[in-house]
Structure 1
Amino acid sequence: MMLAAATAGLLVALLITLVRAIAGPSLYDRVLAVNSFGTKIVLLIAAMGFLAGRPDFLDIALLYALVNFIGTLAVLKFFRYRNLGGASSIERKAETQR
């Protein structure tokens, strides 16, 4: 019963985080809210797996946590450099000056 209450609390926290992701004043606030949303989803997957008696959900939760972390880093890199791969801006400037 206590885990069901924790799951309900997680759902409320997800709703609050979703509101923050939509209404965040800056881009970084929104990215942080989406990252927090992903972390709460990991907790929810683990709790739901425990409630359903499916311990293999923990593997899914760990995989989702890894994808959430890598995705957050990729989004932050994209918004900082406007590029995810290839030549960096310093290398492009050096090529144009030649």
Structure 2
Amino acid sequence: MTVATIVAGVLLAAAALLTAYRILAGPNTLDRIVGIDSLMAIAAGALAVWAAYSEDTMVLPAIAALMLVGFLGSAAVTRFRVRDDR
């Protein structure tokens, strides 16, 4: 279990770094929104790995809330951004 947790942590850290680069280098707002949404999904994955490692289920509502806020934020910003383009 520990080896799988370490491998998952390293892969999530690498994904977070690549996503942070995408957020910083994104040429427009929609690319940055996709990057932030991906970073929220990576954070939820990291919380899920922590929940599996620590065998603590108290983190699961936080994962659901994080994903809900990430989705609603991305949908709202995208909606207003498309409205501004017209």
Percent sequence identity over aligned pairs: 26
- Show the counterpart of 2:29: 27
Report the Cα distance in structure 2 between the residues aligned to 1:27 and 1:67, rounded to whole angstroms: 18
The size of the alignment, in residue pairs, is 82
Structure 1 segments, 4+ long, off by >3 Å, are none
- For residue 8 of structure 1, report the CA deviation from its aligned partner: 1.6
* Amino acid in structure 1 at the alignment position of 2:14: V
- Show the counterpart of 2:65: 63
For structure 1, list consecutive stretches of 5 or more residues without a partner in the other structure: 83-98
Report the Cα distance in structure 2 between the residues aligned to 1:65 and 1:22, rounded to whole angstroms: 22
- For residue 81 of structure 1, report the CA deviation from its aligned partner: 2.3
1:52-74 per-residue CA deviation (whole Å, 9 max, x = no partner) reads: 22122122111111111001111
- Show the counterpart of 1:17: 19
Name the one with the larger helix percent.
2
Greater Rg over alpha carbons, structure: 1
Residue 8 (structure 1) aligned with residue 20 (structure 2): no
Q: TM-score of the superposition, structure 1-length normalised? A: 0.76
* Amino acid in structure 2 at the alignment position of 1:29: D
Q: TM-score of the superposition, structure 2-length normalised? A: 0.85
